[in-house]
Structure 1
Amino acid sequence: MKKIIVHHRSSHHAHYSGYARLIDFLDDPDVVQGETKLPYRFAKWLGEMSTTKAGLYDSQSVQKEMELFFHLKKSSRKEKTIVHYLNGERDIRYLLKYKKENKQLKFCATFHKPPEVLRKIIKETSYLKKLDGAICVGENQVDFLKDWLGIEHVNYIPHGIDTRFFHPLNKEKHSKNMLFVGQHLRDFEMLNTTLPIILAEDKDASIDIILKKEYKEKIKLPNSNRIRIHSGIVDNQLRTFYQKATFLYLPLLDSTACNSILEALACGLPVLTSNVGGNQAYLNNRGGFLLSDKDEFIQLALNLLEDSDRCDLLSEEARLQALKYDWKNIATNINSFYKKINY
Structure 2
Amino acid sequence: MKDAIPTPPPVYSIRHAYRHHAGPSGYHRLGEWIGEPVRLSAPMYWLGETLLRVPAKLVSWYGGHFEYSRHDFVMEAQTLMHMRRHREAIYHFLYAEKSFKLLAHARGLNGHRMAGTFHHPQEHYSWLFRSTAHLRALDHAIVVSTQQVPFMETLVGPGRVTFIPHGIDTAYFTPADAPRADRPLRCLFAGSHLRDIARLPAVIEGVLEAVPAAEFLLISYDRRCEGMTRPGKVHWRRAVPDHEYLELIRQADLLVLPLIASTAVNTVLEALACGVPVVTNRGGVADYLDPACGIMAEPGDVRGMISATVELLRDDAQRRRMGQAARDKAMQFSWPRIAEKMNTLYARLS
TM-score by length of 1: 0.92
CA distance in structure 1 between the partners assigned to 2:156 and 2:225 by the alignment:
35
Q: Pick from 37, 56, 59: which aligns with 2:67?
A: 56
Counterpart of 2:341 in structure 1 is: 333
Counterpart of 2:81 in structure 1 is: 70
**Is 1:102 matched with 2:102?**
no
Judged with a 3 Å threshold, the aligned counterparts in structure 2 of structure 1 residues 30 and 298 are, in CA distance, closer, same or farther, namely closer
Counterpart of 1:324 in structure 2 is: 332
CA distance in structure 2 between the partners assigned to 1:141 and 1:15 by the alignment:
26
1:287-302 equivalent positions in 2, closer than 5 A: 287-292=293-298, 293-302=301-310
CA distance in structure 2 between the partners assigned to 1:274 and 1:179 by the alignment:
15
Quote how far apart the aligned CAs of 1:221 are: 1.9
Quote how far apart the aligned CAs of 1:243 are: 0.6
Letter in 1 for 2:16: H
Judged with a 3 Å threshold, the aligned counterparts in structure 2 of structure 1 residues 311 and 58 are, in CA distance, closer, same or farther, namely same
Instruction: For residues 196-244 of structure 1, give each alpha carbon's deviation from its aligned partner in whole angstroms, at most 9, with x where no partner exists.
Output: 22213322110111112xx123554253221111123111111111110
Quote how far apart the aligned CAs of 1:307 are: 1.2
Counterpart of 2:5 in structure 1 is: none
1:149-164 equivalent positions in 2, closer than 5 A: 149-150=156-157, 152-164=159-171
Instruction: For residues 92-119 of structure 1, give each alpha carbon's deviation from its aligned partner in whole angstroms, at most 9, with x where no partner exists.
Output: 122333334422x000100000011123
Letter in 2 for 1:287: C
**Is 1:24 matched with 2:32?**
yes
1:165-184 equivalent positions in 2, closer than 5 A: 165-169=172-176, 170-173=178-181, 175-184=184-193
CA distance in structure 2 between the partners assigned to 1:153 and 1:236 by the alignment:
39
Q: Is the 8 A contact 2:116 2:141 kept in 1?
A: yes
Quote how far apart the aligned CAs of 1:56 are: 2.9
Q: Is the 8 A contact 1:34 1:61 kept in 2?
A: no
Deviates more, 1:287-296 or 1:170-179: 170-179
Quote how far apart the aligned CAs of 1:298 are: 1.3
**Is 1:141 matched with 2:148?**
yes
Q: Pick from 89, 93, 98: which aligns with 1:85?
A: 93
Counterpart of 2:210 in structure 1 is: 201
Quote how far apart the aligned CAs of 1:122 are: 1.4
**Is 1:3 matched with 2:3?**
no
CA distance in structure 2 between the partners assigned to 1:136 and 1:290 by the alignment:
21
Letter in 1 for 2:269: L
Deviates more, 1:243-252 or 1:37-46: 37-46
Quote the RMSD (CA, aligned, Å): 1.8
Q: Pick from 247, 250, 261: which aligns with 2:257?
A: 250
Give the number of aligned pairs. Answer: 334
Quote how far apart the aligned CAs of 1:286 are: 2.9
Q: Is the 8 A contact 1:4 1:84 kept in 2?
A: yes
Quote how far apart the aligned CAs of 1:60 are: 0.4
Letter in 2 for 1:43: L
Quote how far apart the aligned CAs of 1:168 are: 0.4
Judged with a 3 Å threshold, the aligned counterparts in structure 2 of structure 1 residues 340 and 191 are, in CA distance, closer, same or farther, namely same
**Is 1:236 matched with 2:243?**
yes
CA distance in structure 2 between the partners assigned to 1:94 and 1:179 by the alignment:
41
TM-score by length of 2: 0.90
Letter in 2 for 1:131: L
Task: In structure 1, list runs of 5 or more residues that go unmatched.
Answer: none
Q: Is the 8 A contact 1:7 1:85 kept in 2?
A: yes
Quote how far apart the aligned CAs of 1:328 are: 0.4
The percent of aligned pairs where both chains have the same amino acid is 28
Task: In structure 2, list runs of 5 or more residues that go unmatched.
Answer: 1-8
Q: Is the 8 A contact 2:141 2:156 kept in 1?
A: no
Instruction: For residues 228-263 of structure 1, give each alpha carbon's deviation from its aligned partner in whole angstroms, at most 9, with x where no partner exists.
Output: 111231111111111101100000000000000000
Quote how far apart the aligned CAs of 1:41 are: 4.7
